[in-house]
Structure 1
C-alpha cells in the first residue's frame, strides 16, 4: 500500500472527465513504500454505480458513492461486525475516515490514486495485482454469509472450507465434513449428492453448519475476482470466500 504525505503530485496520471472507468472494478493497495498495513492485510475497493465496497483487513464495508468531478463523495458507510484484533479494527476506522473525506481521484489505466489533504493512497486493479485464482484446486475459506444485500461474519472458531476439482466438491462446515458431485458450467456450479460426516459442535457453529449446507445445493452462480470467490443462489443467499494461503 502506498500512503504518503501529500506533497507534490507528480506522475503522468490524468483525471478522467467521467467516472465510467471505475465501475465494476476492484482495486487493491499497491506494494510499494509508504504507510505499513497490518501484516497479511490489503486495502480493497470495489466500485459499482452508486456504491463502494471496501475492506481493510477486518470487516466488509459498504457506502453510498457519488462522483463530483474529481472527488469521490462517500456517505452512509456501514458493514459487518466481525471481532478482529485492535490493529485491524483501527485500520477499518482509518479507511472509513479516509473515504469520507471526499478524496480526489485519478485513474491511469490500472492505477487509481486517491488523495485527501493529508494522505495519498495508491491502488492497482486487482486483475493486475492478483490474477484470478482457478476454481478447481484452490482451497477456499469462508469469510461471510450473504443474505440479499447484507453480509454477516462467521462465528469465532469457525473453519469453513471448500475445494472443487474433478467433478467433485469437498470440505467442512466445522461441524460437518462433506463431499459430493459438482458440475461446473459457464458461471454456475451444480452441487448434488452430498455425503456428510457430522460431529458435535457448539450451538453457534451448528447454526452456521445449517446455513452453509443450505447454500451448497442445487445450481449456484459463482464469480472469481482475484483471490475471492462469491457463490450466490437464485434466492439471494450466498457465501463469500477467499483463497487460503
Structure 2
C-alpha cells in the first residue's frame, strides 16, 4: 500500500473553534539549553479519539452512536465534538498530564439525552487531566475522579474510499460546492493507478499515480459531455484544472485535501472509510 502523506487524525473545521489556536506543543520541560523538548509519556496527539463513555459523580453515560470525539494536535489545539456540538480550545501535554483551557463550542440543542452527555463531557474535559493510554484506549481522569474513556480510530485509506467533494480551495479561502453538485461530486482512487468519480456534473476517469512524497500525479481528465446548471459547470471547470498535473494530498482522519502548486484545490470527506467500491481497485 502506498505511504500516505499525513494521516493525522483530527477533525474537520468547527465553526466555533475555527478562530481558536493553540494546544501548546506536545512536549515537556526542556532538559537544558538547546535540548529538544521531551516527548510526552502518553502518545495522545495525532489521533482521532472517539468517546466511549464519561463517568461523573459515579454515573456513567455511554456515547456510542453520537459524534463525540476529541483530537489533540502538536500546534496547541484540542478540537472535537461533544455529541452534537463542535468545540475547540487550548491544551498542553506534559508528561502524563493534559491541561485543557477554556473551551468554546457551538450552542445547538440536540435533545435531552445528548444535551446531558454534552454538558458532562464539557465539564470533564477541562483543567488538568491525567492521561493513560493502553491497547488503543485513552482514559482522561479529572482531579475529583471523573473520567472519560476514548478509543483510537484509524484514518481513512486514500484508495478504495469514496471521497465526497465538499469545497473548492483557493489558498486560505474555501467555497462550498453548488447545491446541484453536493452529494454527487466524488472521487475514488484505485490501487491500479486510476481515479474515477464525478465532478458535480460529468463522470470522470483519469490516471492517478500515488507517489511516495505525499503527492499524486494526475493524468488528463476524461469526462462525459453532459450539460448541467451553470454553477455546477463552473465548479467542474475549476476541478478539472487539478488534472494533468501533480497535486499534494493530505488525509486528516476522514478528510482529504488535494492542493495544486498555485494553492487551489478541493476538500473531501470519506463516505465509505476503507471499503473499496466495486472496480476501485481492480481497474474494472
Residues 1:239 and 2:267 are matched in the alignment: yes
Distance 1:168 1:19, change over 3 A: same
Distance 1:118 1:214, change over 3 A: farther
Cα distance per residue 1:209-240 (max 9 Å; x no partner): 455445566222234465x2523424274424
**Aligned length, in residue pairs:** 221
Cα distance per residue 1:64-101 (max 9 Å; x no partner): 3334773422447479xxxx9946x9699759945873
Q: Equivalent residue for 1:172?
A: 198
Cα distance per residue 1:87-118 (max 9 Å; x no partner): 6x969975994587325141324432234569
| Bigger Rg, which one | 2
Report the Cα distance in structure 2 between the residues aligned to 1:214 and 1:91, rounded to whole angstroms.
Answer: 47
Distance 1:212 1:68, change over 3 A: same
Point out which structure has higher relative CO (alpha carbons under 8 A, 6+ apart). 2
Q: Alpha-carbon deviation of 1:199?
A: 3.9
Over aligned residue pairs, what C-alpha RMSD do you find? 4.6
Provide the secondary structure at the position in 1 that maps to 2:67: coil
TM-score, L = length of structure 2: 0.56
Structure showing the higher strand proportion among its residues: 1
Structure showing the higher helix proportion among its residues: 1
Provide the secondary structure at the position in 1 that maps to 2:140: strand
Which one of the candidate residues 18, 25, 28 is aligned to 2:49?
28
Residues 1:161 and 2:161 are matched in the alignment: no
Unmatched runs of 5 consecutive residues or more in structure 2: 1-27, 30-37, 55-59, 274-284
TM-score, L = length of structure 1: 0.63
Unmatched runs of 5 consecutive residues or more in structure 1: 1-15
